[in-house]
Amino acid sequence: MRTESTSGVEAGASSAGRLRRASMSTALSVAGGALIFASFPPRTLWFLAPLGIALLALVLTGFGGRRPLSLKAGFGYGCAAGLGFFVPLLPWIGVYVGPMPWLALAVAESVFVGLFGVLGVVAARSAWWPVSMALAWSLTEWLRSSVPFGGFPWGRLGFGQPEGWLLPLASIGGAPLLSFGVALTGTGTAALLVASSRRDGVRSFLGPVAATTVASIAAVALLPTLHSNDAPEGDERTVTIAAVQGSVPRLGLDFNAQRRAVLDNHVRETMSLAADVEAGRQPAPDLVVWPENASDIDPLRNADAATLITQASVAVGAPILVGTVLVNADGTNTNSVIAWNGTDGPGERHDKKIIQPFGEYLPFRSFFRLFSEYADRAGYFVPGNGNGVVRTGGIAAGIATCYEVAFDRALEESVRSGAEFIAIPTNNATFGDTEMTYQQLAMSRVRAVEHGRTVVVAATSGVSAIVAPDGEVLQDSPLFTPDVLVSSVVLRQSLTVATRLGFGSELVLCLAAVAALGATLVVGRRRSAS
């Protein structure tokens, strides 16, 4: 009886200990995700991202391998970190449609971080886990940027780094390499902490820690040499470009109920710019960029809208890139940017190719309308085609409309096709006074470095901005205020390494992840067999 009683007490104590450890690991995982969130704009705490990764890596390694985790536990801790990250990152989605879409998306994206947790547990079985775990992050980040419905790259680790030391990595391998650099810094930090806490730490972790440390130091040392986006190029020329922020009558999903008022706002600001040019207060622009939805009245079908746009273009003496919604013969819409050049009227155009599921269109509409009355408010937009370049007035503009800026392939195609600068027409009025616009601006800054191009962001309600090729914000506008930004913009034809490599850099990272994790599994099975 005494033995059975003792065994029961020991079992209870063991169970309580496991529960305490699981609770602590879950809390630390959530904290790791929260640190990654806190690294994103509008905050400039970019250094918190690697600390968040380090915290999650410590959990997945069982705090240095003392308590090996199961794959199931890795998935749970990864999901917890994902929730700690995505729940506070994405509330702008539910501002006008309620919490269900916001929380549903946060949970769905957290599943991918849960998959990282599984792969992280596998990686932890190797002595080289700092590298293979960072590669696993790259693999899962690519996956969630690709599926389902075309993926959702929002919140990529690199998108929170426009102020970070590793930003120049974007010019070498794009956003994927920048994310990997941040993840490697985090896992390397975790490896140093593990090594310092173990008696045999220096000996058993010498190789991986040294390799990670040397790689990080080398990257930081070489980046100033490799990163030359702000240096003059032989093929450069300079033009003057204006970004018009006309603002909207009111915020919310029904902001465009007063479509004529939105168009009038942008015409009025452009006319004001023309007056400033005539008075010598502003330089004459070579091109004017209007935001997405600046004219939700189809100017190809509505003579009044066409007349207003023509008058604005003639007055300012420059073509206008007009963000508009076109009505197709079958009743669908395209989200378009049209080059409108004075009395010559419409020229080349970009029809948005990567359209937003559950916003611009609704997959499985009949199913989702069972859960929300807002389902029927989703649009009937269809994707366009083309290479994303619009030429007008002797200038080749690479266009990524709003949501498209999050996807690597959008601007990669346009810059390789001859875009000399990048225009990001966007409409953030449907998301209210939230962090969304700052998160999107951060992506634009990363894209500027990635492709070595000046980026002009024109937003209906803000923030509009002029971003230099090195990612520096040269000018920006306040939220919810009509404004016009005018700046000299460098036009370039040369390509960065990242643009030349395209998807190749991410492919290498993903293949390296598969190879590293596969090798770990093979070695583990051989050890078990012997």
Cα–Cα distance between 91 and 88 in angstroms, integer?
A: 6
> For this structure, is 402 an active site residue?
yes
Q: Which of 402, 420, 435, 510 does the annotation list as catalytic?
A: 402
* Strand order through the sheet with 473-476: 389-392, 395-399, 421-426, 455-459, 465-467, 473-476
Please name the helix (run of DSSP H) or strand (run of DSSP E) that holds residue 69, with its range, or none. none
Cα–Cα distance between 144 and 217 in angstroms, integer?
A: 30
Nearest to 71 by CA among 113, 138, 119, 135: 119
Cα–Cα distance between 422 and 397 in angstroms, integer?
A: 6
Q: Which of 109, 141, 269, 292 does the annotation list as catalytic?
A: 292
> What is the β-pairing status of strands 320-327 and 333-341?
antiparallel
Cα–Cα distance between 371 and 62 in angstroms, integer?
A: 40
Determine contact, residues 58/72, Cβ cutoff 8 Å: no
CA 144 to centroid of chain Cα atoms: 12
> What is the β-pairing status of strands 483-491 and 320-327?
unpaired
Determine contact, residues 248/497, Cβ cutoff 8 Å: no
E-state strands within 381-496: 389-392, 395-399, 421-426, 455-459, 465-467, 473-476, 483-491
Determine contact, residues 277/284, Cβ cutoff 8 Å: yes
For the chain, how are helix, strand and coil distributed in percent, rounded to 5?
55, 15, 30
Q: Which residues contact 448 (CB under 8 A, 6 or more apart)?
A: 229, 422, 454, 455, 467, 468, 469, 470, 471
Nearest to 467 by CA among 235, 282, 225, 289: 289
Nearest to 292 by CA among 214, 351, 221, 212: 351
> For this structure, is 352 an active site residue?
yes
Structure tokens at 41: 């704009």
> For this structure, is 79 an active site residue?
no
Determine contact, residues 170/467, Cβ cutoff 8 Å: no
- Burial (CB < 10 A; 0-12, 13-18, 19+), residue 80, is buried
DSSP character at residue 165: T
Q: Which of 79, 141, 269, 352 does the annotation list as catalytic?
A: 352
CA 109 to centroid of chain Cα atoms: 14
Query: Nearest 5°: phi and psi at 362?
Result: -125, 110
For 384, half-sphere exposure in the C-beta direction (CA atoms, 13 angstrom radius) is: 24
Catalytic positions, written as ranges: 292, 352, 402
